[in-house]
Amino acid sequence: MSNPIELDARGLLCPLPVLKVRKRLKSVPSGTELHLLADDPAAIVDVPHYCAESGHALLRQSDEGDAQLYVIRKS
């Protein structure tokens, strides 16, 4: 398995973090992991909702200092 993709969306507000995730996942093969860092309070709702709607797996969600880390696996 390849290394995870790191996507830093700190400082971006809704809907930009999810739009950046969607754009990045379009260009990678299924099974790829993406690690998203976001500090937008709406991302706590938006990222899990996006994953559920698009069929991607949200493997983990945790606090990382001043941001949230979302680990997503492309379906």
In order, the DSSP letters of the chain are -PPPEEEE-TTPPTTHHHHHHHHHHHTS-TT-EEEEEE--TTHHHHHHHHHHHHT-EEEEEEEETTEEEEEEE--
**What pLDDT shows up at residue 1?**
56
Token output for 28? 């990678």
CATH of the domain at 63: 3.30.110.40
Query: Domain total for the chain?
Result: 1
Is there a catalytic annotation at residue 14?
Answer: yes
End-to-end CA distance of the chain: 14
* Parent domain of 52: 5-73
Active site residue: 5, 12, 14, 71, which one?
Answer: 14
Which pTM was predicted?
A: 0.94
pLDDT tens-place values along the chain, 75 residues long: 578 999 999 999 999 999 999 999 999 999 999 999 999 999 999 999 999 999 999 999 999 999 999 999 999
What is residue 33's predicted lDDT score, i.e. its pLDDT?
Answer: 98
